[in-house]
C-alpha cells in the first residue's frame, strides 16, 4: 500500500496534515509502534520480571512489618543503629499494609508461595503458632549461645510474655511490644455520674453498677461500655476473668531450658511449660455460657453495645468526645487518645474487673526468623539487636504500644500523654502472673472466624439463644481445629 | 403487534477471504499478547483451580491428592451451605431491585425535563458505580452504626428508635443489599437508557393512536423492544451479584452469625485466611457451575421473552 492520495480525498487543509508525519506509511507506523513497544518493555523489565520487589535478588536481610511506608520510614533510626553495629549486614525493611494481623499473615504467606519470602517477619500472638508450626526457625540455640548477652533482656521482660511465644518446648520470638486488655475509663463521664476511679480489685458486679450509674447520668447518645467483636478485647477477657475460655487451654511439656536459665526465681515457675496449647473446643462449658449470658444482659439492658466486628477505628474519636464511658484496650491507646486531643486527666485506666479470677488477656509481638531465611545468623543478629534497650527505645519512642521491657514503662514514657495510672499496664503481668495470651492455635484464622460469628448471635437474643449459639460455636471450633493448619 | 421476524433463519456462508501469508502472520502476532494474557491469567488459573479442588494444599507444604474429600467437606460444612443460600437469596433480591430501579429511573429520564436536569440525574445515578466498593462500604459502615451513625440519628429526629443495622441478621442483610444495589444499578440504568432512547418514536405514536397508554404501552411496546437489553442487563447483574464480596466483607464481615456471608467470602476465607486452597477451589468450582447453569437457563428462557427486531 502507499500513502498517496486516493481519488476524492480532500487536500489537507491543516499544516500538520501536510507534514512528514502524515506521509508515514502504515508499515513505518507499525515499525515505530514496534520500536516503542520494545522500548517500553526494556524500561519496564524490572517490573515485568518482579526484580523491583524489595528483597528479590538482594543479599540484604529482608524484614517485613505490618504497616505503611511511613511506618517503615519511621524505623530508619533503628536500621541506622543496626547498620552501625553490624556494617556487614545490609538490611531492607518492608512495610506490608493490612487491615489486621490476619490480613498481614495472608500476605506473608502469599509471598512465601511466590518464592519471595522475607527473612524476618514481625509476628503478633495471633500468628505466633501458625509461624512456629510452619514457617519460623526456633531461637533456642541462638538464645543458649548468646545467653550472657541475652540475660539483660530476660531480666527486664516478664516471663509470661516469653511463654506466649513458646511452641512445643521451643522459643520462636523475643516479644518486643505487648498490650493487655485493661479497662479504659472516661473520667469526664465518670465525674458526671459522680463516680471515682474503681478500686484495683473491682468486681464484675461493681462494673455493672458503674455502667448503670453512667447510663443514669447520660441516658442518651452515650454508651457506657463499648466493645468490639474480635479475639483481643472482645469476649475473651471476660472468659479469662471467669476462669474459662472457649478453647481448652493446656501447656506443652518442655521449655525448662529457658525458665531454669533465665527465670529461676519466677514465682510462677511451677506453672511454666513449653508453650500454650489449644487443642479442643470448650464453648459449651457452663462458665463460657455464663460469661456470654452476662454480656448479653449488658447489651439487653442498654449498658453495652452489640459488638461490631473488626477493630475500633472510630473508637478513639468517640471516646474523646465523651460518648463512651468504658472500653477494654491496652497501652497502645495512650498515644491515640493524646493525639485525639484528650489530656492526661480526661482518661484513666484500671485492671479488668475480677470475676472468679482477675486473670487478664494480653497480646504481644516480636520478630520471627523464617526457616527460608538466606542468612539465619544475620537474622538472629537483627532479632537480638531489636531486643536491646537502645533499639527498643528507637522502635517505640511514644506510647503507641507497651514495651516489653519493664524498665521502659516509666513516668517519662507517659509524661506527655498520661494516663495517670500508667503503672496498671505492666502491673497487669506483675500482679496477675497467670494472665494469658490471645488463644491462637495454628488454625487461628478459622478459630477467630468461628468465634466472631457466634459472639454476635449469642449476645443479640435471649438467654436460650446463648446456649444455641454456643452449640454452633462448639461445632465450628471442632471443624476448625480438625483441619491441619 | 409483534416484533419477531417471519423470515426463516438461513445459514449464510460468508464469502471466502483470501489473505496473504504476511497478513495472516501479522494477525497472529497482534493477537498473541491478548491470547497469551488470557492463557496465562485466565485459563491457566481456571485449570489450576480445577485441579486444586482435588488436593489439600496450604501454600507451604506440597499439595496432597485427596480425591473428592474437599467436596465432601463442602457438603458437611454448614457455613458453606448457608453462604450459598445467602448468595442465592441475595442475587434474587438484589437483581430484581437493581433492574427495577434502573429501568424505572431510565424511563423517568425519558419524560420531558430540562436537559441540564437530565444530565445531572444521569451523572448522579451513574456516580456510585465509579466509586471503590470497599471505600463506599467503609463509609456506609459509619453511616449505619447503631450507636453513632447518621442514619439512626436521622430516624431519631422523627421519633424512630435506633435500628441495629449491622448487628441484626435481618437488618444487616437489608443494608448489604441496599448498598450493593445503590452502587451497581447505574450500569443497568445506562444500558436501559440507551435502549429506551433507540426506540423509534413512531411506535409509541402508533400505540397511542391504538389507544394504548401507560402500563399497556410499556408492557406491549417498550418492554418487548428493549427485551434484548433486559436479557444482557439481567445476565450481567446476576453474574456480578453471584460474586458479591466487597460490601458484605467490609460492612458486616459476614455477620452477625453467617447471615451475610456469601460464597465468594467463604472462598476468600478458606484460601487466604485458613490456607485451605483445595477447599476454596472446590467452592469456586461449584460457584462457577452455578453461574454457568443460571446463565444457560437465562438464555434458554430468554427465547420466550426476548424479541429481536
pLDDT confidence of residue B147: 80
Q: What is the CA radius of gyration of chain B?
A: 24
pLDDT confidence of residue A405: 98
**Partner-chain contact B148 A484, CB within 8 Å:** no
pLDDT confidence of residue A299: 94
Cβ atoms of A230 and A445 within 8 Å: the answer is no
Distance of alpha carbon A392 from alpha carbon A376, whole angstroms: 21
Q: What are B16's three cell numbers? A: 471466502
What is the H or E stretch that residue A175 is in? strand A174-180
pLDDT confidence of residue B19: 74
Among A305, A469, A472, select the one facing B147 at the smallest CB separation: A305
Q: What are B14's three cell numbers? A: 460468508
Whether the ω angle into residue A419 lies within 30 degrees of 0, i.e. cis, is: yes
What are the distances in angstroms from CA A260 to CA A139, A256, B44, B78, B113?
Answer: 16, 6, 55, 47, 85
Q: What are B116's three cell numbers? A: 441540564
Cβ atoms of B213 and B227 within 8 Å: the answer is no
pLDDT confidence of residue A484: 59
Give the pLDDT confidence of A100-159 residue by residue, as tens digits. Answer: 888 899 889 888 888 889 999 999 999 999 999 989 999 999 999 999 999 999 999 999
> pLDDT exceeding 90 applies to what percent of chain A?
75
Instruction: Place B17 in a pLDDT band, splitting at 50, 70 and 90.
Output: low
Task: For an interface test with B, give the residue of A104, A110, A309 to mutate (most B CBs within 10 A).
Answer: A309
Instruction: Place A18 in a pLDDT band, splitting at 50, 70 and 90.
Output: very low
Residue B148: list chain A partners with CB under 8 A. Answer: 314, 318, 323
For helices B169-197 and B133-143, angle between their N-to-C axes, nearest 10 degrees: 130
**Can you say how many angstroms the Cα of residue A314 is from the centroid of all Cα atoms in its chain?**
17
Name the more confident of B241 and A48.
Answer: B241
> A53: buried, middle or exposed (CB in 10 Å: 19+, 13-18, 0-12)?
middle
pLDDT confidence of residue B16: 63
Question: Mean pLDDT across the stretch B300-306?
Answer: 81
Residue A134 CB contacts under 8 Å (≥ 6 apart), including other chains: A442, A485, B58, B60, B61
The C-alpha torsion from B157 through B161 and B165 to B171, rounded to 10°, is -120
Instruction: Place A7 in a pLDDT band, splitting at 50, 70 and 90.
Output: very low
Residue B22 CB contacts under 8 Å (≥ 6 apart), including other chains: none
What predicted TM-score, i.e. pTM, was given to this entire model?
0.83
Give chain B's mean pLDDT: 88
* B214 contacts chain A (CB < 8 A): no
What is the H or E stretch that residue A326 is in? strand A324-329
Q: What letter does residue A22 receive in the DSSP assignment?
A: G
DSSP string, A33-93: HHHHHHHHHHHTHHHHTTTTSTTTT--SEEEEEES-HHHHHHTHHHHHHHHHH-TTS-EEE
Give the pLDDT confidence of A58-100 residue by residue, as tens digits. Answer: 789 999 999 988 888 889 999 999 999 999 999 999 999 988 8
Scan for cell 488477656, then name that residue: A361
Q: Which residue of B has its CA nearest to A133?
A: B60
Q: Which residues of A108-145 are buried (b: 16+ CB within 10 A; e: fewer)?
A: bbebbeeebbbbbbbbbbbbbbbbbbbbbbbbbebbee
Cβ atoms of B247 and B19 within 8 Å: the answer is no
Cβ atoms of A472 and A454 within 8 Å: the answer is yes
Cβ atoms of A462 and A439 within 8 Å: the answer is no
Distance of alpha carbon B255 from alpha carbon B247, whole angstroms: 12
Question: Mean pLDDT across the stretch B4-9?
Answer: 50
Distance of alpha carbon A104 from alpha carbon B126, whole angstroms: 34
Among B61, B147, B273, select the one facing A223 at the smallest CB separation: B147
ipTM: 0.76
The distance of B142 to chain A (nearest Cα, Å) reads 8
Give the side-chain half-sphere CA count within 13 A for A21.
Answer: 6
pLDDT confidence of residue A350: 98
Question: Mean pLDDT across the stretch A352-370?
Answer: 98
User: What separation, in Å, do the N-terminal and C-terminal C-alpha atoms of chain A show?
Assistant: 65
> SS3 of A443, please?
coil
> SS3 of A211, please?
helix
Pairing of the two strands A228-229 and A308-309: parallel
Give the pLDDT confidence of A246-265 residue by residue, as tens digits. Answer: 999 999 999 999 999 999 99
Least confident of A13-17, A394-398, B91-95, B203-207: A13-17
Q: How many residues does chain B have?
A: 309
Give the pLDDT confidence of B224-240 residue by residue, as tens digits. Answer: 899 999 999 999 999 99
Cβ atoms of B258 and B82 within 8 Å: the answer is yes
pLDDT confidence of residue B9: 54
Torsion over CA: A453, A455, A456, A460 (sign) = positive
Name the more confident of A176 and B224.
Answer: A176
Task: For an interface test with A, give the residue of B273, B276, B277, B278 to mutate (most A CBs within 10 A).
Answer: B273
Give the pLDDT confidence of A397-454 residue by residue, as tens digits. Answer: 999 999 999 999 999 999 999 999 999 999 999 999 999 999 999 999 899 999 998 9
Give the pLDDT confidence of B77-134 residue by residue, as tens digits. Answer: 889 999 999 999 999 999 999 999 999 999 988 877 888 998 899 899 999 999 999 9
Residue B168: list chain A partners with CB under 8 A. Answer: 306, 460
Give chain A's mean pLDDT: 91
> A188: buried, middle or exposed (CB in 10 Å: 19+, 13-18, 0-12)?
middle
Q: What are B250's three cell numbers? A: 467490609
**Partner-chain contact A485 B56, CB within 8 Å:** no
Q: What are B156's three cell numbers? A: 431519631
Distance of alpha carbon A258 from alpha carbon A160, whole angstroms: 12
Cβ atoms of A390 and A156 within 8 Å: the answer is no
Q: Is pLDDT above 90 for A482?
A: no
Cβ atoms of A105 and A91 within 8 Å: the answer is no
> pLDDT exceeding 70 applies to what percent of chain B?
94
Q: Is pLDDT above 90 for B302?
A: no
Among A106, A310, A443, select the one facing B253 at the smallest CB separation: A310
pLDDT confidence of residue A92: 93
The distance of B167 to chain A (nearest Cα, Å) reads 7
pLDDT confidence of residue B2: 42
Residue A54 CB contacts under 8 Å (≥ 6 apart), including other chains: A62, A92, A94
Cβ atoms of A210 and A288 within 8 Å: the answer is no
Least confident of A32-46, A330-344, B285-299: A32-46
The distance of B28 to chain A (nearest Cα, Å) reads 15
**Partner-chain contact A449 B276, CB within 8 Å:** no
**Partner-chain contact A454 B56, CB within 8 Å:** no
HEC per residue, chain B: CCCCCCCCCCCCCCCCCCCCHHHHHHHHHHHHHHHHHHHHHHHHHHHHHHHHCCEECCCCCCCEECCCHHHHHHHHCHHHHHHHHHHHHHHHHHHHHHHHHHHHHHHHCCCCCCHHHHHHHHHHHHHHHHCCHHHHHHHHHHHCCCCCCHHHHHHHHCCCCCCCCCCCHHHHHHHHHHHHHHHHHHHHHHHHHHHHHCCCHHHHHHHHHCCCCHHHHHHHHHHHHCHHHHHHHHHHHHHHHHCCCHHHHHHCCCCCCCCCCCHHHHHHHHHHHCCCHHHHHHHHHHHHHHHHHHHHHHHHHHHHHCCCC
Distance of alpha carbon A409 from alpha carbon A352, whole angstroms: 19
Q: What is the CA radius of gyration of chain A?
A: 28
Question: Measured at the alpha carbon of residue B187, what is the angle toward residues B185 and B191, in degrees to the nearest 5?
Answer: 115
Cβ atoms of B273 and A106 within 8 Å: the answer is yes
Q: Is pLDDT above 70 for A1?
A: no
> SS3 of A461, please?
coil
Instruction: Place A16 in a pLDDT band, splitting at 50, 70 and 90.
Output: very low
Instruction: Place A5 in a pLDDT band, splitting at 50, 70 and 90.
Output: very low
Among A109, A223, A479, select the one facing B77 at the smallest CB separation: A479
Among A106, A314, A479, select the one facing B142 at the smallest CB separation: A314
Distance of alpha carbon A427 from alpha carbon B92, whole angstroms: 56
Distance of alpha carbon A428 from alpha carbon A414, whole angstroms: 17
Instruction: Place B274 in a pLDDT band, splitting at 50, 70 and 90.
Output: confident
The C-alpha torsion from A39 through A42 and A48 to A52, rounded to 10°, is -130
pLDDT confidence of residue A2: 38
Q: Is pLDDT above 50 for A314?
A: yes
Give the pLDDT confidence of B129-179 residue by residue, as tens digits. Answer: 999 999 999 999 989 988 888 999 999 999 999 898 998 889 999 999 999
Cβ atoms of B251 and B142 within 8 Å: the answer is no
* B261 contacts chain A (CB < 8 A): yes
Question: Mean pLDDT across the stretch B186-210?
Answer: 88
What are the distances in angstroms from CA B157 to CA A230, A366, B60, B151, B160?
Answer: 33, 49, 55, 10, 7
The distance of B185 to chain A (nearest Cα, Å) reads 28
Cβ atoms of A240 and A436 within 8 Å: the answer is yes
Spell out the alpha helix ranges (H) of A224-285: 236-241, 256-262
Task: For an interface test with B, give the residue of A308, A371, A445 to mutate (most B CBs within 10 A).
Answer: A308
pLDDT confidence of residue B14: 63
Give the pLDDT confidence of B206-226 residue by residue, as tens digits. Answer: 888 888 777 888 888 888 899
**Can you say how many angstroms the Cα of residue B172 is from the centroid of all Cα atoms in its chain?**
20
The distance of A309 to chain B (nearest Cα, Å) reads 7
Among B60, B257, B274, select the one facing A112 at the smallest CB separation: B60
Amino acid at each position: 500500500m502507499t500513502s498517496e492520495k486516493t481519488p476524492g480525498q480532500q487536500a489537507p487543509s491543516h499544516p500538520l496534515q501536510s507534514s512528514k508525519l502524515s506521509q508515514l506509511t502504515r508499515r513505518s507506523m507499525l515499525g515505530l509502534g514496534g520500536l516503542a513497544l520494545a522500548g517500553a518493555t526494556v524500561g519496564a523489565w524490572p517490573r515485568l520480571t518482579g526484580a523491583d520487589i524489595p528483597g528479590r535478588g538482594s543479599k540484604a536481610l529482608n524484614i517485613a512489618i505490618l504497616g505503611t511506608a511511613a511506618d517503615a520510614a519511621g524505623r530508619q533510626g533503628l536500621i541506622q543503629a543496626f547498620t552501625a553495629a553490624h556494617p556487614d549486614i545490609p538490611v531492607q525493611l518492608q512495610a506490608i499494609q493490612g487491615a489486621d494481623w490476619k490480613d498481614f499473615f495472608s500476605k506473608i504467606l502469599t509471598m512465601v508461595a511466590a518464592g519471595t519470602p522475607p527473612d524476618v517477619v514481625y509476628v503478633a500472638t495471633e500468628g505466633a503458632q501458625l509461624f512456629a508450626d510452619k514457617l519460623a526457625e526456633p531461637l533456642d540455640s541462638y538464645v543458649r549461645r548468646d545467653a550472657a548477652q541475652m540475660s539483660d533482656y530476660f531480666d527486664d521482660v516478664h516471663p509470661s510474655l516469653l511463654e506466649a511465644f513458646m511452641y512445643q518446648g521451643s522459643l520462636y520470638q523475643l516479644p518486643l511490644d505487648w498490650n493487655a486488655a485493661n479497662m479504659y475509663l472516661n473520667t469526664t463521664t465518670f465525674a458526671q455520674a459522680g463516680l471515682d476511679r474503681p478500686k484495683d480489685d473491682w468486681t464484675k458486679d461493681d462494673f455493672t453498677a458503674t455502667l448503670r450509674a453512667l447510663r443514669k447520668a447520660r441516658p442518651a447518645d452515650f454508651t457506657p461500655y463499648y466493645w468490639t467483636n474480635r479475639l483481643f478485647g472482645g469476649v475473651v477477657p471476660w472468659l479469662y476473668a471467669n476462669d474459662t475460655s472457649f478453647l481448652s487451654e493446656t501447656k506443652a511439656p518442655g521449655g525448662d531450658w529457658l525458665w531454669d536459665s533465665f527465670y529461676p526465681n519466677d514465682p510462677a515457675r511451677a506453672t511454666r511449660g513449653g508453650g500454650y496449647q489449644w487443642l479442643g473446643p470448650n464453648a459449651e462449658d457452663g462458665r463460657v455460657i455464663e460469661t456470654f449470658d452476662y454480656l448479653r444482659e449488658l447489651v439487653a439492658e442498654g449498658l453495652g453495645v452489640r459488638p461490631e466486628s473488626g477493630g475500633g477505628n472510630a473508637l478513639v474519636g468517640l471516646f474523646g468526645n465523651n460518648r463512651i464511658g468504658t472500653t477494654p484496650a491496652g497501652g497502645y491507646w495512650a498515644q491515640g487518645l493524646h493525639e485525639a486531643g484528650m489530656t492526661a486527666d480526661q482518661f484513666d485506666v484500671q485492671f479488668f474487673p475480677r470475676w472468679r479470677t482477675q486473670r487478664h488477656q494480653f497480646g504481644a509481638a516480636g520478630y520471627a526468623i523464617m526457616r527460608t531465611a538466606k542468612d539465619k545468623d544475620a537474622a538472629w543478629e537483627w532479632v537480638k539487636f531489636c531486643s536491646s534497650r537502645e533499639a527498643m527505645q528507637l522502635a517505640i519512642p511514644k506510647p503507641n504500644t507497651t514495651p516489653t521491657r519493664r524498665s521502659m514503662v516509666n513516668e517519662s514514657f507517659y509524661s506527655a500523654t498520661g494516663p495517670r495510672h500508667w503503672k496498671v499496664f505492666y502491673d497487669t503481668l506483675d500482679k496477675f502472673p497467670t494472665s494469658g495470651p490471645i488463644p491462637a492455635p495454628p488454625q487461628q484464622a478459622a478459630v477467630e472466624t468461628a468465634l466472631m460469628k457466634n459472639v454476635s448471635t449469642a449476645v443479640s437474643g435471649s438467654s436460650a439463644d446463648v446456649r444455641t449459639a454456643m452449640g454452633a460455636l462448639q461445632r465450628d471450633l471442632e471443624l476448625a481445629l480438625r483441619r491441619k493448619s | 403487534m409483534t416484533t419477531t421476524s417471519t423470515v426463516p433463519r438461513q445459514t449464510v456462508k460468508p464469502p471466502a477471504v483470501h489473505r496473504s501469508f504476511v497478513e495472516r502472520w501479522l494477525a497472529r502476532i497482534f493477537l498473541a499478547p491478548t491470547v497469551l494474557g488470557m492463557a496465562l491469567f485466565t485459563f491457566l488459573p481456571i485449570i489450576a483451580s480445577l485441579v486444586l479442588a482435588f488436593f489439600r494444599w496450604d501454600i507451604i507444604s506440597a499439595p496432597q491428592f485427596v480425591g473428592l474429600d474437599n467436596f465432601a467437606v463442602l457438603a458437611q460444612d454448614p457455613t458453606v451451605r448457608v453462604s450459598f443460600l445467602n448468595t442465592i437469596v441475595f442475587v434474587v433480591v438484589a437483581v430484581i431491585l437493581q433492574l427495577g430501579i434502573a429501568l424505572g429511573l431510565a424511563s423517568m429520564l425519558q419524560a420531558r425535563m430540562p436537559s441540564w436536569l437530565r444530565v445531572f440525574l444521569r451523572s448522579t445515578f451513574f456516580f456510585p458505580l465509579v466509586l471503590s466498593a470497599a471505600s463506599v462500604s467503609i463509609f456506609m459502615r459509619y453511616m449505619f452504626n447503631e450507636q453513632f451513625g447518621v442514619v439512626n440519628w436521622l430516624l431519631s429526629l422523627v421519633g424512630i428508635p435506633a435500628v441495629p443495622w449491622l448487628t441484626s441478621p435481618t437488618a444487616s442483610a437489608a443494608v448489604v443489599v441496599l448498598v450493593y444495589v445503590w452502587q451497581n444499578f447505574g450500569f443497568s440504568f445506562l444500558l436501559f437508557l440507551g435502549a429506551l432512547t433507540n426506540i423509534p418514536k413512531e411506535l409509541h405514536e402508533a400505540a397511542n393512536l391504538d389507544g394504548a397508554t401507560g402500563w399497556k404501552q410499556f408492557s406491549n411496546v417498550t418492554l418487548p423492544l428493549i427485551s434484548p437489553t433486559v436479557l444482557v442487563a439481567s445476565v450481567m447483574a446476576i453474574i456480578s451479584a453471584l460474586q458479591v464480596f466487597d460490601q458484605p466483607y467490609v460492612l458486616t464481615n459476614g455477620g452477625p452469625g453467617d447471615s451475610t456471608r456469601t460464597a465468594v467470602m467463604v472462598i476468600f476465607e478458606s484460601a487466604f485466611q485458613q490456607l485451605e486452597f483445595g477447599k476454596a477451589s472446590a467452592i469456586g468450582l461449584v460457584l462457577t457451575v452455578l453461574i454457568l447453569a443460571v446463565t444457560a437457563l437465562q438464555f434458554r428462557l430468554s427465547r420466550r421473552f426476548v424479541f429481536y427486531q
